[in-house]
């Protein structure tokens, strides 16, 4: 049996092309107006604080580890969405990572791909269930913030800090 390869390719070069891995890295978007990274700042509230009880410290650590695991999975998937961990926000040109904080609250971490980077631009909490127009509008505003930060990053791709 004869296999036809695209012009300029042979078996070896075609296999390299098919198996090519993109080395993605996650970065925090840096907001020059705020003078900090909004997602990194959001995560700070879950770092251990001296006044936290051991139970709260454990809960916070587990949550950060779970979120880190989801971001790592997205990196391994070259930034593409992985339902149900992450889903595209097509009208905003971003993708959201989902994490359940507790039975009533969901955490959303918004990112987009830019070359070999997964840029974490925004994060927020929302109720698990909501039906009011007021809540819907508030969530749409959060997505608009993410979209605006994406556009700012695209116009200046040096606005980031490494994700650690």
How many Å apart are CA 100 and CA 18, to the nearest integer?
A: 36
Nearest Cα residue to 119 out of 98, 144, 147: 147
Q: For 30, what's the count of Cα atoms within 13 Å in the CB-facing half-sphere?
A: 11
Residue 153 near residue 114, CB atoms below 8 Å = yes
- Quick one: pLDDT at residue 106? 94
Low-confidence ranges of the chain (pLDDT < 70): 1-22
- Quick one: pLDDT at residue 49? 85
Give, in order, the Cα–Cα distances in Å from 33 to each of 39, 104, 159, 163: 15, 32, 11, 20
- Quick one: pLDDT at residue 17? 45
Q: Is 34 helix (H, G, I), strand (E, B) or coil?
A: coil
- Quick one: pLDDT at residue 130? 78
- Quick one: pLDDT at residue 13? 46
């Amino acid at each position: 049996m004869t296999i036809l390869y695209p012009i300029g390719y042979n078996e070896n070069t075609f296999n390299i092309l098919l198996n090519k891995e993109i080395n993605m890295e996650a970065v925090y978007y840096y907001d020059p107006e705020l003078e900090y990274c909004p997602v990194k700042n959001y995560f700070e509230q879950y770092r251990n604080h001296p006044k936290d009880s051991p139970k709260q410290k454990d809960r916070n650590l587990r949550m950060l580890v779970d979120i880190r695991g989801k971001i790592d999975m997205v990196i391994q998937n070259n930034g593409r969405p992985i339902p149900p961990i992450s889903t595209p926000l097509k009208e905003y040109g971003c993708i959201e990572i989902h994490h359940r904080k507790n039975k009533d609250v969901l955490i959303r971490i918004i990112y987009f791909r830019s070359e070999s980077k997964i840029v974490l631009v925004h994060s927020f909490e929302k109720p698990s269930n909501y039906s009011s127009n007021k809540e819907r509008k508030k969530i749409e505003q959060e997505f608009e913030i993410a979209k605006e930060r994406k556009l700012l990053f695209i116009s200046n791709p040096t606005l980031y800090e490494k994700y650690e």
